[in-house]
């Protein structure tokens, strides 16, 4: 009996596994080799990379402020966000607020008015932030941003490094190359949930976190179409062509929403008139309140009133 079991085990051990050489996801993602240098890594087959961390942030961030960096090509941006308990945040804000208020009173008694406006602004900002957090209208987070620049040659990597530094300098920000920590930071850029490298955190409110989401395009515009305004971030003209077709737009539908008096009707009238004049488009309105009658007459159109049990085919008003 034992001998029979041994034979069965040997037969299973010598059996060829037909699924043994099926490639896994890790085989696609893992580079051929990784060689670490002081300020860059070599991944084999002409793949160079250099890791950075943002150390100085702009005083004010805006939607899409990282888009200029990603447009440089073959760049990975990793954003690590950690939540902070509200109780701890409120206590620290209160301590900082008391410090600034005490400093303000000291300068005021001494007659030193040079720093009073700056302290007044800081005290106002701290009071507003503390109030928003206490009423659960805002939260505070720790953010760490890592950037990996990829290139095919060492010369291209150095050139991209200069571009990255110049772009952040324009935004009054600064990045630092993680010298002698390239492998550690290389892992931090990967979506593995690794704990970020310490000492590069920056506190941000919910609004600041929202500006980091890479879903915006500050220069959104079509090559053809009608002029509808200017981009509030870049002041560039914005054109829209609802019939441009895929992949730019899958269908010509437009949805306009807003509060009362915000200009919804004006926007639709303007878009309709410009489409008709510039493109020769035919415009039809189902106007229950007669709001578009005047525009229709000015553009040489007809106003047709549809009534029950009446022939309205050729009647115009």
pLDDT above 60: residue 315: no
In the chain, % of residues over pLDDT 90 = 17
Per mean pLDDT, which range of 30-34, 115-119, 163-167, 226-230 is the poorest?
A: 30-34
Give the number of residues written for the chain.
317
CATH number corresponding to 33-84+139-210: 3.30.70
User: Does 242 or 27 have the greater pLDDT score?
Assistant: 242
- Residue 62 near residue 233, CB atoms below 8 Å: yes
- What is the rounded distance in angstroms from the CA atom of residue 121 to the CA atom of residue 115? 10
Question: Which residues of 95-205 form beta strands (DSSP E)?
Answer: 140-151, 174-177, 202-205
pLDDT above 60: residue 317: no
pLDDT tens figures, 254-293: 888 888 888 888 888 888 888 888 877 888 888 888 888 8
Per mean pLDDT, which range of 21-25, 176-180, 186-190, 273-277 is the poorest?
A: 21-25
Residue 227's H or E segment, with its range, is strand 226-230
Structure confidence at residue 174 (pLDDT): 92
Mean pLDDT of 101-110: 89
As a whole number, the mean pLDDT across the chain is: 83
- Residue 141 near residue 129, CB atoms below 8 Å: no
pLDDT above 70: residue 217: no
pLDDT above 80: residue 9: no
Q: What confidence tier does 42 reach under pLDDT thresholds 50, 70, 90? A: very high
Residue 271 DSSP SS3: helix
pLDDT above 90: residue 147: yes
Mean pLDDT of 206-222: 75
pTM of the full structure: 0.60
Exposure letters 186-213 (e unless 16+ CB within 10 A, then b): bebbeeeeeebbeebeeebeeebbebbe
Per mean pLDDT, which range of 15-24, 177-186, 195-204, 221-230 is the poorest?
A: 15-24
């Amino acid at each position: 009996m034992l001998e029979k079991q041994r034979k069965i085990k040997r037969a299973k051990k010598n059996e060829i596994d037909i699924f043994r050489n099926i490639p896994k996801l890790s085989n696609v993602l893992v580079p051929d080799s990784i060689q670490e240098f002081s300020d860059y890594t070599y991944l084999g087959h002409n793949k160079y990379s250099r890791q950075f961390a943002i150390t100085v942030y702009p005083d004010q961030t805006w939607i899409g402020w990282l888009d200029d960096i990603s447009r440089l090509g073959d760049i990975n941006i990793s954003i690590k966000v950690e939540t902070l308990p509200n109780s701890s945040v409120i206590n620290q804000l209160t301590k900082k607020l008391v410090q600034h208020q005490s400093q303000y009173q000291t300068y005021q008694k001494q007659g030193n008015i040079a720093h009073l406006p700056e302290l007044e602004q800081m005290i106002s900002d701290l009071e507003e932030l503390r109030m928003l957090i206490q009423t659960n209208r805002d939260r505070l987070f720790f953010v760490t941003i890592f950037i990996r620049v990829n290139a095919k040659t060492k010369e291209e990597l150095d050139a991209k490094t200069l571009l990255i530094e110049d772009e952040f300098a324009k935004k009054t920000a600064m990045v630092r190359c993680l010298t002698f920590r390239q492998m550690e930071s290389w892992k931090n850029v990967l979506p593995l949930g690794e704990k970020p490298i310490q000492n590069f955190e920056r506190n941000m409110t919910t609004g600041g976190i929202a500006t980091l989401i890479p879903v915006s395009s500050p220069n959104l515009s079509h090559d053809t179409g009608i002029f509808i305004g200017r981009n509030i971030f870049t002041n560039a003209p914005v054109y829209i062509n609802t019939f441009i077709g895929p992949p730019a737009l899958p269908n010509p539908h437009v949805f306009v929403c807003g509060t009362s008096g915000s200009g919804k009707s004006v926007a639709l009238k303007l878009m309709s008139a410009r489409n008709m004049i510039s493109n020769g488009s035919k415009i039809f309105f189902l106007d229950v309140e007669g709001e578009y009658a005047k525009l229709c007459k000015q553009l040489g159109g007809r106003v047709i009133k549809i009534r029950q049990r009446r022939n309205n085919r050729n009647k115009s008003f």
